[in-house]
Structure 1
Amino acid sequence: MSPLKPTNGVKRSASSTASPNPGKTNEKRQKREGNHALTTPAAAAAVAASQDFGLHMSTHVTYAVDFLKAKRTPKTLQEIFDHLTLQHLPEKSQMGFMFYLQKQSRILFKPAPKSKNEKLPPWRTGTYEFRAKLPGVNTKETLLEYLQKKPDASCTSIKDIKDGWPDFEPAVDQLEKEHRILVQRTKKDNQPKNVWLDDPSLHHFVDPQFQSMWFREKLPSADDMPRLLHQLGQKATSVPTNNANRNLKAPPKKKKARQSNKRLENEHMRGLLEQFEKR
């Protein structure tokens, strides 16, 4: 039995079954095979990871900033990639991440010194470090030095200190006890909020018994204060001390000369009008 069956009564030869465009058929076959290759688990995961990295670039940079902030030491680009599990990304994506990382204001990039024996490409060299709001303030000495160099007497926020010095509280408490800084604390939980520079030489010991007596003494109200001071022969600061100025009269104000802006339409009446105004 022939493998070619007649259709509509017409016999088809083997040559008629061949594709009219063999090049197009091969192209479709290659495209089909290429799509099949992308559907393998490893290739699909790589493509998905590359696309996901591009969509969430800012998120990865945020994680890198948190990583550098927690470590407090300079890190290389490869160490950042290893921490974020981005070491398997294509080189083009890694370079894009490197440029984006160096533009961040919270990251300090330090280029590596040039070396002829450097095996890594130039864009992989250098270190990255977290840039705090108060750079270098991470000890009692550096905090005092920063406060002494301030050009004004404004406060320094604890949030700015904590940004580059997470475990600052014991040192701040110690400096406060030594009267080297003034600390403003919250009323709710007594947590430090702002600090100022203090001078230990201005601190004087006051007997606690005297302090308790002082605070037990109740002051009169603001309305009763002038009356009680008057009974003691004293005057309140709100009462004027010199009443002589009250009787002084202000100098009389000079009257401005009246200017006549009348428009004379009849020149022959000018003399009569001037005589009338003089009266």
Structure 2
Amino acid sequence: MSSKLGVNGTKRALAPPSPSPSNASNASHGTPSKRQKRADAANRIRDHATPTPAAAAAASQSTNFGGEMMTQLTYAVEFLKAKGEPKTFADILNHLTMQHHSEEMQSKFVKYLRRHHQINFLPETEPVPKSVPAWRHGKYEFRAKIPGVVDKTSLLQYLQNKTDASKLDVKDLKDGWPDCDQAIRELESIHKILVVRTKKDGHAKYIWRDQQELFNKVDPEFQVQWQRVKLPAPDDMNKKLISVGIKPASEDPQLKVKETTKGKQKRKPNRTTKKVTNTHMQHLLKDYSHLKRG
């Protein structure tokens, strides 16, 4: 420490230098600087936003579980559709190789099965041991778009019970009866169903019920002549029929009556009476032409 001579010649100790701001901020018990405060705030935000390893693992496991369940559920639907008969939950687990999964995962998968729109759950009809959990009971079967139609008899019965003349889509029929093509050909050959086929491949597309007793065989030569007749374009069909004195079936008679009635209606004349307000001048508006001298 440096010193200087006082007034009476004695040495006087100088005061120690004041600490700099950087030194003060680095003191263990000093007040932190603004830079240090900003750094601490940033660290707190980062620590709060970054999940802990346990939370990250739990989130990843939940995502993987949901994705795996959706995939396994698709395989389960295909399995039940291919078998065509009810299967137990154990059968489904063995097919999907999920029999070694935890009880918690299997019980959650049961909920997915029972809520799926293409799966029917069939409860147990016989007593089950109490040692078996309730969620393992029952069987599962594939739910087709047209349920119960799996042969020619059930197909004819389904068409008979229809309350309208709408078509039956073969694509929907194959959802529960994949190999129905041969049965469709047999029923069509004996005139029990009407079939519309694709022009390119000749595959059955739509089906209606037919009446076998109304079928009349047409001579092949007449069929050829019929096909040779050239029909007018759809836009000119009505004009052609009217020109030969035939009433088109597409013409609605009610519309014609409405048009005729509408044409006969006449517009009513406007007979509103105007109110006279200048009654005091009516004597000036009289006709005096008959008093005119010749």
With the length of structure 2 as denominator, give the TM-score of the two structures: 0.63
1:257 aligns to 2:260 (yes or no):
no
The separation in 1 between residues aligned to 2:211 and 2:96, in whole angstroms, is 47
The alpha-carbon distance between structure 1 residues 275 and 194, as it changes in their structure 2 partners (threshold 3 A), is farther
The separation in 2 between residues aligned to 1:181 and 1:200, in whole angstroms, is 8
Q: Deviation per CA, 1:18-69: give whole Å up to 9, x if none.
A: xxxxxxxxxxxxxxxxxxxxxxxxxxxxxx9997444321111111001100
1:132 aligns to 2:132 (yes or no):
no
Equivalent residues, number: 215
The separation in 2 between residues aligned to 1:212 and 1:123, in whole angstroms, is 66
Are 1:139 and 1:171, in contact at CA under 8 Å, matched by a contact in 2? Answer: yes
Tell me how far 1:160 sits from its aligned partner: 0.9
The separation in 1 between residues aligned to 2:240 and 2:104, in whole angstroms, is 84
The answer to which of 216-225 and 182-191 deviates more is 216-225
AA matched with 2:157: E
The separation in 1 between residues aligned to 2:275 and 2:74, in whole angstroms, is 78
Are 1:109 and 1:128, in contact at CA under 8 Å, matched by a contact in 2? Answer: yes
1:272 is aligned, of 263, 269, 281, to: 281
- Equivalent position of 1:180 in the other structure: 192
The separation in 1 between residues aligned to 2:67 and 2:265, in whole angstroms, is 81
| Partner SS state of residue 56, structure 1 | helix
Are 2:241 and 2:247, in contact at CA under 8 Å, matched by a contact in 1? Answer: no
| Partner SS state of residue 129, structure 1 | strand
2:245 is aligned, of 210, 232, 235, to: 235
Q: Deviation per CA, 1:196-226: give whole Å up to 9, x if none.
A: 1111111101111222233334567897998
1:121 aligns to 2:130 (yes or no):
no
Are 2:151 and 2:183, in contact at CA under 8 Å, matched by a contact in 1? Answer: yes
AA matched with 1:83: H
With the length of structure 1 as denominator, give the TM-score of the two structures: 0.66
AA matched with 1:209: E
2:175 is aligned, of 143, 163, 173, to: 163
- Equivalent position of 2:82 in the other structure: 70
Q: Which runs of 5+ in 1 are unaligned?
A: 1-47, 239-245
Are 2:120 and 2:140, in contact at CA under 8 Å, matched by a contact in 1? Answer: yes
- Equivalent position of 2:108 in the other structure: 96
- Equivalent position of 2:290 in the other structure: none
| Partner SS state of residue 158, structure 2 | helix
| Partner SS state of residue 109, structure 1 | strand
Are 1:50 and 1:89, in contact at CA under 8 Å, matched by a contact in 2? Answer: no
The alpha-carbon distance between structure 1 residues 201 and 101, as it changes in their structure 2 partners (threshold 3 A), is same
The alpha-carbon distance between structure 1 residues 219 and 277, as it changes in their structure 2 partners (threshold 3 A), is farther
Tell me how far 1:110 sits from its aligned partner: 0.6
Are 1:68 and 1:75, in contact at CA under 8 Å, matched by a contact in 2? Answer: yes
Tell me how far 1:113 sits from its aligned partner: 2.6
The alpha-carbon distance between structure 1 residues 251 and 192, as it changes in their structure 2 partners (threshold 3 A), is closer
Tell me how far 1:261 sits from its aligned partner: 6.3
The alpha-carbon distance between structure 1 residues 258 and 180, as it changes in their structure 2 partners (threshold 3 A), is same
Tell me how far 1:250 sits from its aligned partner: 5.2
The alpha-carbon distance between structure 1 residues 257 and 237, as it changes in their structure 2 partners (threshold 3 A), is same
- Equivalent position of 1:41 in the other structure: none
Q: Which runs of 5+ in 2 are unaligned?
A: 1-59, 249-259, 288-294
Q: Deviation per CA, 1:122-169: give whole Å up to 9, x if none.
A: 211210000111110011010010011111100010111000000000
- Equivalent position of 1:147 in the other structure: 159
Tell me how far 1:187 sits from its aligned partner: 1.0
The separation in 2 between residues aligned to 1:97 and 1:276, in whole angstroms, is 102
Percent of aligned positions that are identical: 43
Q: If you compute each CA radius of gyration, which structure gives the higher value, 1 or 2? A: 2
Tell me how far 1:253 sits from its aligned partner: 4.5
Tell me how far 1:236 sits from its aligned partner: 4.9
